[in-house]
Amino acid sequence: MGTLTKKIEVKIDGLSNKDYKDYNFLNIKLVQELLKPNELTFTMEKISLVDCAEDGVFPVPKKLMGAQVNLTIETIRFDEKDYETSEKLEFRGT
């Protein structure tokens, strides 16, 4: 039995993670617990190194405050009999 992740997409105010070409999205984690709100966390890491003082300015965090965040995960689940089931999980929050 196992699960294969087919596709992960994070949208921030309608912009896909593919639109943030200068950043890698890492450590994407969705926590669901009883009697608690769902919690989505991820890390945005700038790809390029800082070459000068202007490169050290990151305008993205200010844009993220209060932004609408959508997460879509598409998976394929396998069981002991090699039966495949496709599943899609969607999360929306601010």
- The DSSP annotation for 25-80 comes to EEEEEEE--TTS--EEEEEEEESSPP-SGGGG---HHHHHTT--EEEEEEEEEE-T
- Summarised one tens digit per residue, pLDDT across range 55-66 is 656 666 667 778
The structure tokens 């800082």 sit at: 50
Per-residue pLDDT, 2: 79
CA 38 to the chain's CA centroid: 14
Please, which pLDDT band fits residue 11 given cuts at 50, 70 and 90? very high
Per-residue pLDDT, 33: 92
The answer to whether the predicted template modeling score (pTM) of the entire model surpasses 0.75 is no
Residue pair 74/13 in contact (Cβ under 8 Å)? The answer is no
pLDDT of 46 above 70: yes
